[in-house]
Copies of this chain bind each other. A is one copy, B any other.
Amino acid sequence: MPDGTAEIRKGRKFDQVLDGATEIFMTEGFERASVDEIARRANVSKATLYSYFPDKRLLFVEVMKRECERRAKEAEDFIDKSFPPKQVLPLAGRVLVDFFLSEFGQQSFRMSIAESGKFKELGQRFYDAGPGLIERELVPYFEEAEERGELRIEDKILAAHQFAELCKARIFPMTMLHIKDDIPEGERATVVSEAVKMFLARYGT
């Protein structure tokens, strides 16, 4: 075992291929993306590509795996548990909004939804890196804040999801359905601010 990455992979242009595949899959989706296009974008021959990945599906799964892990790691620990909700929630909400309004957030959501039927494990993986992550981050915070008397929540898991959904109000469907491509600064701030207000009106002390 020459190096640490104990995976079934092979050679040297591996990441190059994955990067190219990520780009193409993100803009085209699974069906529309062609292997030739991926190889071209990755500056790699199709033969090389197929020497790493047995087929297109596996390549796709690998792309989504990596991307989910990457994003999940990025998003962790953006919460300082010792601060009160009035400070933590606006920040968390803003991170959330900016994420799912980003090109990457949009596309991975789109693709996960479109292909989760075909690749059963994929839906689970994206869920863990998305809604699941939010749950894992917020629930412990709610618990600490409740001990400090700053919140009072019976169903903390539901509350975490409610907060996340509130942050999508009016903007998420719009971008998801390509009604608008960009949401201006002001609108993002408003939505987050109103989400926090509503959340605290219900669970605040």
Contact = CB atoms under 8 A, between A and B. Distances in A.
A166 interface: yes
Name the residue among A32, A124, A169, A194 with the largest chain B CB count within 10 angstroms. A169
Interface in A155-192: 155, 157-158, 161-162, 164-166, 168-170, 172-174, 176-179, 190-191
Contacts of A179: 123-124, 127
A164 B170 CA distance: 9
Contacts of A161: 169-170, 173
A40 interface: no
A123 B178 contact: yes
Interface in A121-156: 123-124, 126-127, 130-131, 155
Nearest to A172: B165
A140 to B, nearest CB: 17
Contacts of A155: 190, 194
Contact of A110 (B113, B120, B169): B113
A114 B179 CA distance: 14
B31 A177 contact: no
A141 to B, nearest CB: 17
Contacts of A172: 165
Contacts of A114: 29, 110, 113-114
Given A113-B177, A198-B198, 16 more contacts: A31-B31, A31-B32, A112-B177, A113-B176, A114-B114, A116-B177, A123-B178, A123-B179, A155-B194, A158-B169, A158-B191, A161-B173, A162-B169, A162-B170, A162-B194, A202-B202
